[in-house]
Amino acid sequence: MPDYFFVVIDEAVSRMIGHIKWMPFLVLSSKLSPSGIEGTFFALIMSIDHIGLLSSAWSGGLVLHMLNVTRTQFDNLWITIIIRSMLRLIPIGFLFLIPRSDPNLSILPSEMLRTKRVNDVLEPENIEMATLILASD
């Protein structure tokens, strides 16, 4: 197999697994986050992802150094690519942690799902949870 086919296939599989691993997080964050803090929850997930990317770049550099892969010496590069590809499959092993339920059901408690009526008065301490558009009955 030519090197350029190997690199193209490896990159395509890596990107596909990267997109697939984010699907459960995005679905769960939309279901689990209370009304009004979806953006904060998404920012938390993104910051955790960026910390993971930073640590993976550092550990990848360490693996390259340990296997003596340099700009001019690529003898052990295939080992590092196989190690990277195997480690990217680890998140699939955690899919059992996702709750098995109907995706159309809401996971939030019923108190959080109740909506305010037009004639309800908003208290100053709860104004951040107010809807922008009032629903008409």
Question: For residue 112, is it within any domain?
Answer: no
Instruction: Name, in order, each residue with C-beta under 8 angstroms of 34's C-beta and a sequence gap of 6 or more.
Output: 108, 112
pLDDT of residue 42: 79
Question: For residue 43, is it within any domain?
Answer: yes
Question: For residue 118, is it within any domain?
Answer: no
Residue 41: how many CB atoms within 10 A of its CB? 15
pLDDT band at 18 (very low <50, low <70, confident <90, very high): confident
The whole-angstrom separation of Cα 104 and Cα 89 is: 28
Question: For residue 119, is it within any domain?
Answer: no
Q: Domain limits at 8?
A: 3-98
**CB contact at 8 A, 63 and 83:** yes
Question: For residue 106, is it within any domain?
Answer: no
Number of domains in the chain: 1
Give pLDDT tens digits for 44-69.
Answer: 888 988 898 899 889 999 999 999 99
Question: For residue 22, is it within any domain?
Answer: yes
Question: For residue 114, is it within any domain?
Answer: no
The model's pTM is 0.48
Question: For residue 129, is it within any domain?
Answer: no
Give pLDDT tens digits for 115-137.
Answer: 555 455 555 555 555 555 555 54
Q: How would DSSP label each residue in 108-122?
A: S-HHHHPPPPTTPPP
